[in-house]
A and B are shown apart, each in its own frame.
Chain A
Amino acid sequence: MGSFDFNVIERSWVYLFREGMVFTLTLTGLAMTGGIIFGTVLALMRLSSVKALSRLAGAYVNLMRALPLVLVIFWFFFLVPYIGAWVTGADRPISVGAFWSAVITFTMFEAAYYCEIMRAGIQSVARGQVSAAYAMGLNYWQTMGYIVLPQAFRNMIPLLLTQTIVLFQDTSLVYVISATDFLGAAAKVANRDYRLVEMYTFVAVVYFLISSALSMLVRRLQDRIAVFR
């Protein structure tokens, strides 16, 4: 079996969690928030009766869903500095750093997936609700804001949360732009101390525990919601 030194985990514990896990969780939180907001906008665009809007949003969503996340990470990593320069009028690409590049990437990427969940959720709200709202004199935005979206969100919360767990796991891919998320931090320690087996096993176990705990919470939430129907 060889000589495994699991103490390396103990020694690098603080670094792994204070640097790595914080990176991962912050990235997940920001991307989730941004992704849901942008995803809702995309969903509304796709459901709009203005052909141009729905086609544009549709094309964006289909593009994001057809490409590997790794490729999209590279795209934004190289693209964002140029866009930053264009926006701020600088003459050279602005250096953004791995973290913010990742935040933008995951927000834009996950929005496509959140969009599809939102779209189904909005469509699942009975037509009669919209008719009743309009009959009362509410306009489109009021109907959306007070009647449709609140109901849609309640229906879709379990799926949105499940997608967020997927997002949490996907953030590990920032490895390809050498960012120091939880996996990246573990990889640095692993290569420095030549303890690949111990570190990567540890990473797997931590991700497993967090993901399955979160999944269990979502399942329990789903049961609670079902009772209220």
Chain B
Amino acid sequence: MGYNWHWRVLLETEPGGTGTYLQYLVVGLGWTLATALAAWVLALAIGSVVGTIRTTRVTWAVRLGNLYVEVFRNIPLIVQMFLWFFVMPELVPKAVGDWIKQMPPPWGSYVPAVLCLATFTSVRIAEQVRAGVNSLPRGQRMAAVAMGLTETQAYRYVILPQTFRILLPPLTSEFMNIIKNSSVALTIGLLELTGRARAMQEFSFRVFEAFATATVIYLLVNLVVVLAMRALERKVRVPGLISAQSMQAGH
């Protein structure tokens, strides 16, 4: 094929002097995971709230929730990333905007990336929470309430524990999605794994070694997350409770 493989490049020192290329990429993985985790936690919080609101009967709240979902679902992720990085600092009060703009790298890229990924993913989580809550038979809430439990108690002891088990698979696959989507943050200067693979390719001209290593790392992360999720699912499994087998059409 006319390409000379040169895997030893991974052990060569990267131009910035921080260590070998391999270490350089692994640090990128660290940034990927740091971004993904922060965004996922935030997305869970926002998404649960929005998703639960949309199952209530408060019309104005449901409409607001629907609008939120529609907006963040119909704009591409990279465009949202640019909005958070370039546009948001200009729209907030000047003092806040200036403070944001002088944040040193990498925080100047990290914070917008986390916020962007969080809101982007919260929409999908909101949908899954709504579907999960609605998939629970109506009789469960009725039985809880018929016993004399208040609405809050019913949610706490009966509805939410079951919803959590139903939602475990989709929520974990959302975490995988955030890990993949974090790569888009390279466009605003966040040096996560893919961004560093690209940088490595530019400095060392070792195109395929760089991207192949990144690929292997992503696959390993994927494997670990999938195995961990399966173990967790097995641990909380309850006979007779069907978990939502939703078809994941989209990434």
Residue positions of A touching B, CB distance < 8 A: 1-2, 63, 65-71, 74-75, 78-79, 82, 85-86, 91-93, 113, 116-117, 120, 159, 162-163, 166, 169-170, 172-173, 175-176, 183, 196-197, 200-201, 203-204, 207-208, 211-212, 215
Total contacting residues, chain B, CB less than 8 A: 45
Which secondary structure characterizes the binding site on chain A? helix
Would you call B80 an interface residue if the criterion is a C-beta within 8 Å of the partner chain's C-beta atoms?
A: yes
B12 contacts chain A at the CB level, 8 A cutoff:
no
Please provide the 5 A-B residue pairs with the shortest distance between their CB atoms, ordered closest to farther: A211-B74, A68-B183, A169-B76, A68-B180, A70-B183
User: Are A66 and B218 in contact, CB atoms less than 8 angstroms apart?
Assistant: yes
Can you give 17 A-B contacts (C-beta < 8 A)? A65-B251, A70-B186, A74-B198, A74-B201, A78-B207, A85-B1, A92-B2, A116-B249, A162-B250, A166-B250, A172-B78, A173-B184, A176-B186, A204-B75, A207-B79, A212-B70, A215-B74
**B187 in contact (CB, < 8 A):** yes
At the interface, yes or no: B248 with Cβ under 8 Å from chain A? yes
> Could you tell me if B251 and A166 are in contact, using CB atoms closer than 8 angstroms?
yes
Task: List residues of chain A with CB within 8 A of the CB of B86.
Answer: 196-197, 200
Contacting pair A120 B247 (CB below 8 A): yes
Please tell me if the beta carbons of A78 and B211 are within 8 angstroms of each other in the complex: yes
Q: Tell me if B242 is interfacial: C-beta within 8 Å of chain A.
A: no
B197 at interface (Cβ–Cβ under 8 A)?
yes
Q: When the two chains form their complex, are residues B186 and A163 in contact, meaning their CB atoms are under 8 A apart?
A: no
Q: How far is the CB of A32 from chain B (nearest CB, A)?
A: 14
Q: How distant is B128 from chain A, measured CB to nearest CB, in Å?
A: 16
Contact of B3 among A71, A82, A166, A175 (CB under 8 A): A82
| Cross-chain contact of A200 among B2, B83, B197 (Cβ < 8 A) | B83
Contacts of A82 in B (CB 8 A): 1-3
Report the minimum CB–CB distance from B238 to chain A (whole Å): 26
> Is B208's beta carbon under 8 Å from chain A?
yes
B164 on interface, CB distance cutoff 8 Å: no
| Residues of the B chain whose Cβ atoms lie less than 8 Å from the Cβ of A86 | 1-2
> With A and B bound together, what is the CA distance between A93 and B3 in angstroms?
10
B31 within 8 A of A: no
Point out the residues of chain A lying under 8 angstroms from B73, CB to CB: 211
Contact count A vs B, C-beta below 8 Å: 126
Taking Cβ atoms with an 8 Å cutoff, the residues of B that contact A are 1-3, 70-71, 73-80, 82-83, 86-87, 90-91, 176, 179-184, 186-187, 194, 197-198, 201, 207-208, 211, 214-215, 218-219, 222, 247-251
Q: Which residue of A lies closest to B179 (CB)?
A: A68
Within the complex, the shortest CB–CB distance from B101 to chain A, in Å, comes to 12
**Judging by beta carbons under 8 Å apart, are A200 and B87 in contact?**
yes
Asked whether B74 lies within 8 Å of A212 as measured between CB atoms, the reply is yes
When distances are taken between beta carbons in the complex, the residues of chain B under 8 Å from A208 are: 71, 74-75
Write out the residue numbers on chain A whose beta carbons fall within 8 Å of the beta carbon of B180.
66-69
Contact B74 A207, beta carbon cutoff 8 Å: yes
A166, A176, A211: which contacts B75 (Cβ < 8 A)?
A211
Cβ A91 vs Cβ B76 within 8 A: no
Q: A110–B74 Cα gap in the complex (Å)?
A: 18
Q: Which residue of A lies closest to B90 (CB)?
A: A197
Q: Nearest A residue to B70 by beta-carbon distance?
A: A212
The residue of chain B having its C-beta at the shortest distance from the C-beta of A79 within the complex is: B208
A66 with B219, Cβ < 8 A, contacts A2-B90, A200-B83 known: yes
Supplied contacts A70-B184, A120-B247, A201-B83, 9 more A-B pairs, CB within 8 Å: A74-B197, A78-B207, A78-B208, A162-B249, A169-B75, A169-B77, A172-B78, A201-B87, A207-B79
For B247, give its contact among A93, A159, A197 (CB under 8 Å).
Answer: A159
Bound Cα distance from A65 to B223, whole angstroms: 12
Q: Name the distance in Å between B121's Cβ and chain A's nearest Cβ.
A: 14
In the assembled complex, the CB of B199 is this many whole angstroms from the nearest CB of chain A, namely 11
